[in-house]
Amino acid sequence: MTIWNLGSINADMVYGLPHLPAAGETLAADGLERFLGGKGANMSVAGSRAGSRVSHIGAVGPDGRWAKDRLTEYGVDTRFIAEVDVPTGHAIIAVDAQGENLIILYPGANHALDSAQIGKALASANTGDILVLQNETNAQVEAARLGHELGLTVCYAAAPFQAQSVQEVLPYLDFLILNEVEAEQLRQETGLDAAELPVRHVIVTLGSRGARYLQQGCDPVDFAAHKVQAVDTTGAGDTFTGYVLAGMDRGMPMEQAILQANRAAALMVTRHGTADVIPDLREVRDAQLD
């Protein structure tokens, strides 16, 4: 099976800072590194490193050839990444001494996807394949509808969160992942708790407390997070999602996929950087975690 990922591709400019800047503050960085990133690219790399075949649908600008090449090096199918006349997306990421971050996004080419490109990609999909979307590209609703019509398992990682974007794709979803603050915001908009959403599988992530899995018609199941010394939480959520999707793709019971994803995310927060440093399956299995 294949995971089709309509997702963003960014150059992540990561600045190490003693603390996150306040409004009006000028602050010198301790260091600067560039990584491949974007929630989409991170999930593609995570899925690939977790052993799945991943086909990325996205766009880069004339300055983005390196990003496409790097995804190819990481085992992701890049045939459906368009090269458009808009600069590649980028993210300015500040990471403080505790590993917390703030992110400024420039969408660029991530908002220049067209219908023909998505249609062409999904025409190669097979019933039972997975389609995943996040909220950093255009054309999510159209892709979700098409994926649903084609019989794909349609998944939405609701990040960056906008209640309206979730509501627009909700009728087409088989799987939704969001954090507890977002779940509450969605409840305020829809009047529905996460457990009442019309989606077969919902995961509510609980930060350092782990995750809650809600399957329609079943009791919720909680998964504790592993306790690790975090140096950078950027991309850990994307790693978790990519590993869950790979588990689903490989036919694992959801509980087992979440346990493996928890381990991958725990390892990820001990590393500086984004897509380039996402752990592979062997590292995840071998990691000494509590």
Q: How far apart are CB 90 and ligand RIB at their closest, in Å?
A: 8
39, 70, 212, 271: residue in contact with ligand RIB (rule CB under 6 A):
39
Does residue 205 belong to the site contacting ligand RIB (CB under 6 A)? no
> How far apart are CB 198 and ligand RIB at their closest, in Å?
27
User: Can you tell me the distance from the alpha carbon of 137 to that of 145, in angstroms, rounded to the nearest whole number?
Assistant: 15
The piece of 31-39, 45-53, 125-133, 163-171 that touches ligand RIB (CB under 6 A) is 31-39
Nearer to ligand RIB, 17 or 103 (CB): 103
Near ligand RIB by CB under 6 A: residue from 2, 4, 7, 37: 37
* Amino acid (one-letter) located at 235: G
The least CB distance from residue 177 to ligand RIB, in Å, is 13
Distance CA 244, CA 13 (A): 27
Rounded least distance, CB 179 to ligand RIB, Å: 12
Interface residue with ligand RIB among 67, 71, 91, 257 (CB under 6 A) is 91
Give yes or no for residue 12 binding ligand RIB (CB under 6 A). Answer: yes
110 binds ligand RIB (CB under 6 A): no
Q: Is the Cβ of residue 65 or residue 282 nearer to ligand RIB in the bound state?
A: 65
C-beta of 7 vs 152, nearer to ligand RIB: 7
Q: Residues with catalytic annotation?
A: 238
Residues comprising the chain, all counted: 290
Among 46, 56, 131, 136, binds ligand RIB (CB under 6 A): 136
Which parts of 228-257 interact with ligand RIB (CB under 6 A)? 234-235, 238
Nearer to ligand RIB by C-beta: 42 or 153? 42
Binding footprint of ligand RIB on the chain (CB under 6 A): 8, 10, 12, 37-39, 42, 91, 103, 105, 136, 234-235, 238, 274
